[in-house]
Structures are given as C-alpha cells and as structure tokens.
Amino acid sequence: MHEAVFAKAAEMKENKGEIKNPFVSLGELREACSGDETLSELLDEMLGYCLRYAETVCQFEQVVMAGGDRAEIDAIRGTVHDATMDAINILSRNLQKRGKDNQWIAKIVNDRAKYGKMAILLAFEKILSEPQTAGV
C-alpha cells in the first residue's frame, strides 16, 4: 500500500529522526476524535486523502525526474489536493461543532501549500505508526 510514500517516509525518519508536524500531530487528532464514531470516521477518511495526496506528490516527483508529461499527473495531484483540503476542513468543522480543539486549522487556512505539507506529514505519521510488513 502506497509503496512510494512509505519509502519516502522511511527515508525521512532515517535521515531526520521522528517526524515533527508543526500543525497538529496524528496523535493529537486521534485523541480529539476518540470516543466519537463520526469524528473517528472523518479522521480515517481524511487520512485516506492524505495518503492519496502524498502518493500523487511522489508520483509527480518521479515523472518530473524521468522527464515525463507533468501536465497529466499535475492535474491529478491538484484534484486530490482539493479533496484533501476539503476532508481536512470537514474534520476541523466537526471538531469545532463538538467543542473539541481545532485551533490548528488557523495555521493552514487559506494556504494551499500548508494544507499539502500537513497532509504529507500526517500521511507519513500514519505509515510510520503502522507495523511494517515484509516486502514493503
């Protein structure tokens, strides 16, 4: 699952130690969502989008390095980025509705690049928090 993203996450961890998310950590989000089925489902859905976005970024980098057609993969990456931003915003709004901390959204709102960075970092945190399987 998401082999290119896993490889990049492992490389980051090896080169720089633990991943530090300046926006909000996966652990903080899990804690905020625990005990609430809807929030947990929204978090899982958001993480799925984060993983897809990180994967498209890795694919984009591979296409660029290989001298391939950037336009097609960039269009896909842009669409996934938009969906990821929507999922992040939906989780944030639902946290706020339930009186949970969503102050982290102020650090990224109206900044596509920061949404992307947060998504990639959360994807890496998720991958690195899961048990590694042989051959991946």
Q: What digits encode the pLDDT tens for the residues 69-111?
A: 788 888 889 999 999 999 999 999 999 999 999 999 999 999 9
Residue 1: per-residue pLDDT: 37
Candidates 85, 28, 26; CA nearest to 52 is 85
The number of folded domains in the chain is 1
**Residue 47 token pair:** 């993480």
**Cα–Cα distance, 15 to 37 (Å, whole number):** 36
What is the residue whose two structure tokens read 């989008």? 49
Q: Is residue 24 part of a domain?
A: no
Q: Is residue 29 part of a domain?
A: no
Residue 69: per-residue pLDDT: 79
Q: Is residue 22 part of a domain?
A: no
Q: Is residue 85 part of a domain?
A: yes
- Answer yes or no: are the C-beta atoms of 11 and 120 closer than 8 Å: no
Q: Which range of residues forms the domain containing residue 108?
A: 3-17+37-129
Q: Is residue 69 part of a domain?
A: yes
Query: Binning pLDDT at 50, 70 and 90, where does residue 8 land?
Result: low
Q: Is residue 55 part of a domain?
A: yes
